[in-house]
Structure 1
Amino acid sequence: MTDLATRARTLLDLHTAPEILTLTNVWDVVSATVVAGTPGVRALATASHSIAATFGYADGENIPLELHLDMVGRIVAAVDVPVTMDLEAGYGDAGEATRRAIEVGVVGGNLEDQMKPLDDAVAAVEAVLRAGRDAGIDFVLNARTDAFVKAGADADRSAVLTEAVTRGKAFLEAGAPVVFVPGVVAREEIAALAEAFGPRKLTVISVPGKSLPASELQELGVARVSTGPFTQRVALTALQDAVTAMVGGGTLPADTRPLN
């Protein structure tokens, strides 16, 4: 698939299919080619946190957008599946950031609301979607609300859920095809969000040791589950474990595969 419109439509269709879309977040070309070459993988997502860490930057738009886009463009060029990018909060101009992402071949993206005033957050969603229309594609915006990730440990969970529903519905009404609610892992809260947004409108992140299996998320009506920075941490955990074994007098794992 070389046509952007085709890739965008494919990515959108994957979100509305009965089967949940499982997206493994990647951070460089080799991680992208390994994931894309794995049977069953139908699309890729980039992880801004992981790309920033690769270049020595902290998460949160500290990596320059030019450098961020350069890596994402390299990923897009190396694979044959649709790629969605983590746009963070839009680098001060969500529409322009989206336009530049589309120029390097991206057909979808996450956009954080950072709990800004709702009118401002909706305007950013509209700007992203407008950039997609201007480019002639159905840009698959995964409109993110930070209601849960920014809630304090002692926050009223019912109130947080209500805020997430309010923001998510506003993003859907503005035209976003799906809403991303990171930080939600409890079955009851996921079920409530899925019911409030409608079938195949909710996306979540898989948190090691806390999240429901993808098969159960599918039963709850979730459209998509991604992995964020956790896949890079899986890789780094394996690296540290191998180093520990070597330093302790052992060898590298016998089941190591030549994936690069």
Structure 2
Amino acid sequence: MPSAAPAPSPFHALHRAGELLFLPCVWDVASARLFSALPTVKALGTTSAGLAAAHGVGDGQQLAPADLLRAVEGIRSATALPVSVDLERGYAEDADGVHRFVGELLDLGVSGINLEDGLSDPGRGDGGALADPAEHAERLAAARSAAADRGLPLFVNARTDVWWNPAAT
């Protein structure tokens, strides 16, 4: 049974009402170093589209999970700032897979993640779709569980992505 939730991290403390958190999104070691050097930057995020493009693939979990982990490892090694990873749908088929993958990210020192509820990109011709809310909740719980199992804090941003559909305008 997982232990109680750990104390909030310094990354959590940056999310205060009334204060702007400037969280630039990085895609490689060079961008992480560049933004980390700016005095107003207190944390970094990753961009799924940027990471994918840097590896020559499209957004929407087309980046191989191993490539994502290597990129995050490089970004983490390039900065002492907290890093939050855009994890799209969790790079997994189900909640158990999300638990495993988030655990790997936590082992790299990640402070936060984004988990999206989108199933697909309308640019792929299927019009885009949203996941079942219960499934999304299971994925979020799995991410929290991975952190609790390690006794580590994790900031989870549960996102709802809205796709712009040119055909609908």
TM range (shorter): 0.7 to 0.9
Q: CA RMSD in A?
A: 1.9
Where does structure 1 differ by over 3 angstroms across 4 or more consecutive aligned residues? 150-155
Residues 1-260 of structure 1 correspond to what in structure 2 (within 5 A)? 9-92=9-92, 93-114=97-118, 115-146=130-161, 148-149=162-163, 154=168
TM-score (norm 1): 0.54
Structure 2: gaps spanning 5 or more residues:
1-5, 119-129
* Larger proportion of helix: 1
Equivalent pair of 2:22/2:40 in contact (CA under 8 Å): no
- CA deviations 1:170-218 (Å, max 9, x no partner) are xxxxxxxxxxxxxxxxxxxxxxxxxxxxxxxxxxxxxxxxxxxxxxxxx
Q: What secondary structure does 2:144 align onto?
A: helix
Equivalent pair of 2:111/2:154 in contact (CA under 8 Å): yes
The percent of aligned pairs where both chains have the same amino acid is 34
Q: What secondary structure does 2:114 align onto?
A: strand
TM-score (norm 2): 0.81
Identify which of structures 1 and 2 has the higher relative contact order when contacts are C-alpha pairs closer than 8 Å and 6+ apart. 2
Deviation at 1:98, TM superposition (A): 0.7
**CA distance in 2 between partners of 1:152 and 1:51 (Å):** 25
Deviation at 1:17, TM superposition (A): 4.6
Deviation at 1:151, TM superposition (A): 6.6
Equivalent pair of 1:87/1:109 in contact (CA under 8 Å): yes
- CA deviations 1:29-64 (Å, max 9, x no partner) are 111011010111100001121111111111111111
The residue that corresponds to 1:209 in the other structure is none
Q: What secondary structure does 1:19 align onto?
A: coil
Bigger Cα Rg: 1
Deviation at 1:120, TM superposition (A): 0.5
